[in-house]
A and B are shown apart, each in its own frame.
Chain A
Amino acid sequence: MSILIGRDTRLVVQGITGREGEFHSRQMLEYGTRIVAGMTPGKGGLHALENRVPVFNTVAEAVRQTGANTSCIFVPAVGAPDAVLEAIGAGIGTVFCITEGIPALDMLPVVEVVRAAGARLIGPNCPGATSPGRAKVGIIPGSIHREGHVGVVSRSGTLTYEAVQAMTDAGIGQSTCVGIGGDPIIGTTFLDVLQLFAADPETDAIVLIGEIGGSAEEEAAAWAAEHLRGVPMVAFIAGRTAPEGKRMGHAGAIISGGRGTAAGKVTALEAAGIRVAGSPTELPALLREAGYRE
Chain B
Amino acid sequence: MKIQEADAKSLLAAQGLPVPPWAVARTPAEARAAAERFLADGAGRVVIKAQVLVGGRGKAGGVKLAGSPAEAEEVAGRILGMEIKGIPVRKVLVGPAAVIVKEFYLGAILDRASRRIVLMASAEGGVEIEEVAKATPEAIHRVEAHPLLGLLDWQARELAFAVGLAGPHLRDFVKIAKGLVATMRANDADLVEVNPLAILRESGPEGQVERLACLDAKVTLDDSALPRHPDLEKLRDLDEEDPADAEARHYDISFIHLDGSIGCMVNGAGLAMTTMDLVNRAGGAPANFLDIGGGAKADRVSAAMRLILADPKVRAILVNIFGGITRGDEVARGLIDARARQEREVPMVVRIVGTNAEEAARLLREAAFETAATLDEAAAKAVAAARQATGDAA
Contacts and interface: CB of A to CB of B under 8 A. Distances in A.
A104 interface: yes
Contact of A242 (B147, B268, B273, B322): B273
A278 B113 contact: no
Interface stretch (B4-12, B135-143, B222-230, B329-337): B222-230
Contacts of B273: 159, 211-212, 238-239, 241-242, 248-249, 253
Interface stretch (B90-98, B274-282, B311-319): B274-282
**Max count, chain B CB within 10 A of own CB: residue among A104, A141, A240, A281:** A104
Interface in A150-204: 154-162, 165, 182, 184-185
Contacts of A236: 274
A96 B353 CA distance: 26
B230 to A, nearest CB: 14
Interface string B132-163: 01000000000000011000000000000000
A6 interface: no
B130 interface: yes
Interface in A217-254: 219, 236, 238-243, 246-253
A290 B286 CA distance: 32
A246 B280 contact: no
Interface string A264-294: 0000000000000011110000000000000
A21 to B, nearest CB: 12
Given A105-B225, A161-B322, A279 B270 contact: no
A249 B269 contact: yes
A238 B185 contact: no
A241 to B, nearest CB: 5
Contacts of A252: 112
Contacts of A65: none
A184 B188 CA distance: 14
A249 B291 contact: yes
A239 B115 CA distance: 23
B322 A156 contact: no
A219 B355 CA distance: 35
B342 interface: no
A216 interface: yes
Nearest to A213: B112
B289 interface: yes
A209 interface: yes
B324 A139 contact: yes
**Max count, chain A CB within 10 A of own CB: residue among B223, B224, B354:** B224
B277 A239 contact: yes
Question: Looking at chain B's contact residues, is the secondary structure mostly helix, strand, loop, or mixed?
Answer: mixed
Chain B, interface size category, equals 35 or more
B284 to A, nearest CB: 10
B180 to A, nearest CB: 14
A159 B270 contact: yes
B278 to A, nearest CB: 6
Nearest to B113: A215
A241 B286 contact: yes
Given A111-B115, A112-B147, A279-B375, A158 B188 contact: no
Contacts of A78: 228
Given A184-B110, A242-B276, 16 more contacts: A77-B224, A105-B222, A107-B115, A108-B115, A111-B115, A112-B148, A155-B270, A157-B271, A159-B273, A159-B274, A162-B271, A211-B270, A241-B280, A252-B112, A253-B269, A258-B130
17 contacts: A104-B190, A104-B224, A104-B225, A109-B147, A159-B268, A162-B322, A162-B375, A182-B270, A184-B110, A209-B270, A214-B113, A216-B112, A219-B113, A241-B279, A246-B289, A250-B270, A257-B130
The 9 closest A-B CB pairs, nearest first, are A249-B269, A156-B270, A158-B268, A159-B270, A103-B225, A112-B147, A238-B273, A249-B254, A257-B130
Interface of B: 110, 112-113, 115-117, 129-130, 133, 147-148, 184-185, 188, 190, 222-225, 228, 254, 256, 258, 266-274, 276-281, 286, 289, 291, 294, 322-325, 353-355, 374-376
